[in-house]
Structure 1
Amino acid sequence: MDETGGECVYRDKWYEVECAENVLVNILSRLPIKSILVCKSICKHWNWLISSQAFIDEQLLRSRKNSFYIVYPFMDVLMELFFVDNNGEIDKRLSFPYCENFSPITIICSFDGLLCCMNYPWKADSGRVVDDEIDLEIRICNPVTKKALLIPRGSLSNEKPSIGVAFGPKINEYKIFRFFSAKFISLAKHPSRNSRQCEVYSSSTGSWSVIGRVPYCPMHSSHSPLGSNHVFVNGKIYWFIALDEDPLIPGSILTVDLDETFGTINLPGDVTEHSYLVNLKGCLSLVSVHDEDEIMNIWILDSRNEPKWELKCRDIVPFSNDECAEFVVAMENDLFVITSSQYHIYDSEYRFWRELYLPRMFETNFPVAFTYTESLLSCGGRIDPTIEYISQRSI
């Protein structure tokens, strides 16, 4: 009798917890994301709650405090992602769940658990990659939920397009800015006409809109044949613009905000071929590695009034000039620096280097890294409140 009574009290108490949704959200949002996905199958009410935008937002806010790095080799044969912590420990590895019949895929950026990827379409009947008449494919992917969204095809381009992704103002809203060379303009017949244009895809509308001609286009990145080095910081996207004299060296910075307003920023007179734009603790920063001197400079942009660069620190790198810096990404005060065969974490606050020992298979596969936060965000943008309400009523 006591056992039965105790069980009834337990069930009553748990029923009170389930009815108080804010309490249940607080509990479930603290679980590892793999456990959260399992909890969706417990009952319809839990499935609805975990699928709601309010829960997704709450889980993301907690998850942001435990970000790590996502590292991947150039995906030609090995289609895997590696989750790496600050100590260089591989937490887990995931097979890319949307890569069947893909040509080599390139990750362009990572934000709040979503990855933006690009690849050439694969023509199944010919067994080859098509790169002439068909445009690059763009996908927004969530590796932990194993979901992906193929973005509608953009305008035809005479050259490889460059893109950048802006997120906000709400959680899980984004815009994709795509720079292309208009295919209908013949520069041979009209050499004075500017064919460089920009269009933007909005997750709110699910379609592209053409902005029109732009004076500058982002320079292509040396580490990625399909991408461009860009970073999203405080509501703006930043790309390098190549020097007129040398397409491999940045000459200035191109910016665009969520209102689709473009601008440019001058660079300090300290830029090399191995320079990277990063988000260093919420500030746009420039990392410039001088191979000959084996020196790394870190500049911070002070944009409170007129944009002004300030030298944060200058330090000796722990690798020789034969080991060029191939990729740099930031997380809080740390820089993850990848060279031809080495991996280092640099603490910019205490000016301390740590070498990481990752699998040797990365050394020949052009690895890149991004900061990563596990989330349940939808690849298509925010959940429609009307649909969410209808789903609730149908339970």
Structure 2
Amino acid sequence: MKSISTLIKKTFSVVLLCSLMFTGIGTLALDKAAAATGDAYVYYVSDSDLYRVKSDGTGAQRLLKSFNFEGTEMKPAGDYLYFAYSQGSTTLLRVPVDGSTNIPKRFFDDAIYFETDHNFLYYMDSKGKIYRAPANAVDKSEAKLIADMADTKFSGFVVVEGRVYYNALKDGRKTWVASKAADGTGQVQWIAAGAFEKPWEARVTGSTLYFVVNIKPEEVQYSTNSIVIYAMPAKGGAAKAVNAKAPLDVNAAYSGWWANHLFVFNKGIKLNVDGDYDYSISKGTLLTSEGKTIDLHKSGVPEIASVGTDKLAFVDAGGHAYVSTLKNNKVVSTKTLSVTDAWYVRNLVTDSQVRATLIFADSGAYLLKNDLSLEKIVGVEWDYVKYKDNVSGFFYINAGDNGRLYHMGDDGKTSTKLSEETIDHIVLIDKQ
């Protein structure tokens, strides 16, 4: 599946990082009580120091000095922030969220993957064992083994509605998508033969949990029709293969993405000489949750987002932006938007409801209005954007103000300066 990092191929200097949808990538627990408010902290690094500040500009504080953060994504749980020391490192560290100490503490030395979910920490070791520990545990001795025989070649997992979904070795040999109660009780549920190869290949939409499963994960050639979409209740239950009789090409699927219950894939796509996807030789196609396919666009679609219940905004291989209206599993109309060299289209979401749709282009950022016209978000030179579901607006490093941190409201007009320091990068957005 396309990750945000693989999207940075264009000349436009925006890095767009979203927290799970791909949310944060890993813990997909549904938070029905959440609302789009300014009550959130943004954590950032400036001159190797770690800071945090509220989205309204209050509560600013430096948490750690000389903090050369080069680890995996920082994730909150309980009173701590957890992170791995560096990319590929197996050392899991934590620091108090309130900055009461300026030295990270080791928690576990063999964590090849980890996730957090409210007041719990989950991690997998190199032997394929998954543990759960209270987020505020004194040390690793409070951790409980909840699952074993995980496939360490596909170590990513997610936590959804009290269950852990992971890739396991069935009978010690064959890779299967499996799940177990988050507290370790009960039996393993075997969901599908194959693997979801990245955590963001699991997605909750409404009350449904979807998996993008490679049914032949042992294959090394990315030209195999081996991608099957599985759907199941987010609260747990039986899984159903959406396209069991017509698996998708790996490249076609991994160059695509979700928009509500629709999955866009790029039929016929190939890699170019640089190893990037060549969207110009493909056709954007939709797969419905019933397994039907819909022709969306004559060229590939690298970016897509839902607009209301019957419309999709998307960007094509040539950087043109469109909104298509669907009815009875057909595209009945398509409007070309008045922007060129567009690269990204993203939704700001609260409890699965879209608050705003944004389009980013070489010429800047735009808000998609109800009449499908575009309103430019003025006064900002975009350099880096990060946002999170259930948190109002978005955060950005403003190149027009020497790299200071700003927050922009959903209206695209109300901005708040959050830092006087020049920002290296945004680490995390977390609700209070």
Q: TM-score range by the shorter chain?
A: 0.3 to 0.5
- Which structure would you say has the larger Rg? 1
Give the TM-score of the pair, scaled to structure 2. Answer: 0.42
The structure in which a higher percent of residues are strand is 2
Give the TM-score of the pair, scaled to structure 1. Answer: 0.45
